[in-house]
Amino acid sequence: MSLHRLFLRYAITLPSGTLKWIGVRPEKKQPLIALDKVMAIKHKGLEGDHRCIKTPNSARQVTLISEEFIRQIAYYCNKSSIAPALLRRNLVVSGINLNALRYQQFRIGDAIFEASALCHPCSRMEAVLGHGGVSAMLGHGGLCCKIIKSGEIKLGDSVDILNTQQDLF
């Protein structure tokens, strides 16, 4: 069974998660700005984020990480906590197995997303997290996502897997 089909088969049993943090970066290499809500724009990105005005249909329109991964990264970096903005991801979720969302479509608020590739850490993480920061994030960097349907998302929204592909099984 292919990895893609394996994810499709078992992701339908995922419990819902919760959107805990939203951040946009108006310009490349600038700090993220935390928001309570934002418009997710189909095939583009989050309104106000520099990626929204870049190449349409990019596989990296939005980046997603979990609170659970952030806690694990903090542990590996010997820190008590890490502010989400430091990791340069757009959305932080909690309560859902983030890696099981890969290749899946899911809803947050009124928007629908599709998780594609793993979001690997960049070399800036060494400067931000200290020596070993990139190593701490390996396997815990989150996911890159596309926006399939536009809609508003806000803190506290549920993260729900869509069962649109159940008929394959």
In this prediction, residue 166 has a pLDDT band, given cuts at 50, 70 and 90, of: very low
Lookup: tokens for 155 = 């803190």
Mean pLDDT across 30-56: 91
In this prediction, residue 158 has a pLDDT band, given cuts at 50, 70 and 90, of: very high
SS3 82: coil
CB-based burial, 18-41: b 16+ in 10 Å, e otherwise: bbbbbbbbeeeeeebeebeebbbb
User: By C-alpha distance, which of 12, 11, 7, 19 is closest to 108?
Assistant: 19
Amino acid at 60: R
Class of domain 3-62+83-116+145-162: mainly beta
8 Å CB contact between 33 and 47: no
Distances (CA, A) of 82 to 33, 70, 144, 163: 16, 7, 20, 33
pLDDT single digits (tens) 54-82: 767 777 899 999 999 999 999 999 999 99
Q: Is the pLDDT of residue 95 over 80?
A: yes
When mean pLDDT is compared across 42-56, 68-82, 135-149, the lowest value belongs to 42-56
For residues 102 and 41, what is the distance between their CA atoms, to the nearest angstrom? 20
pLDDT at 63: 95
Model's pTM, two decimal places? Answer: 0.89
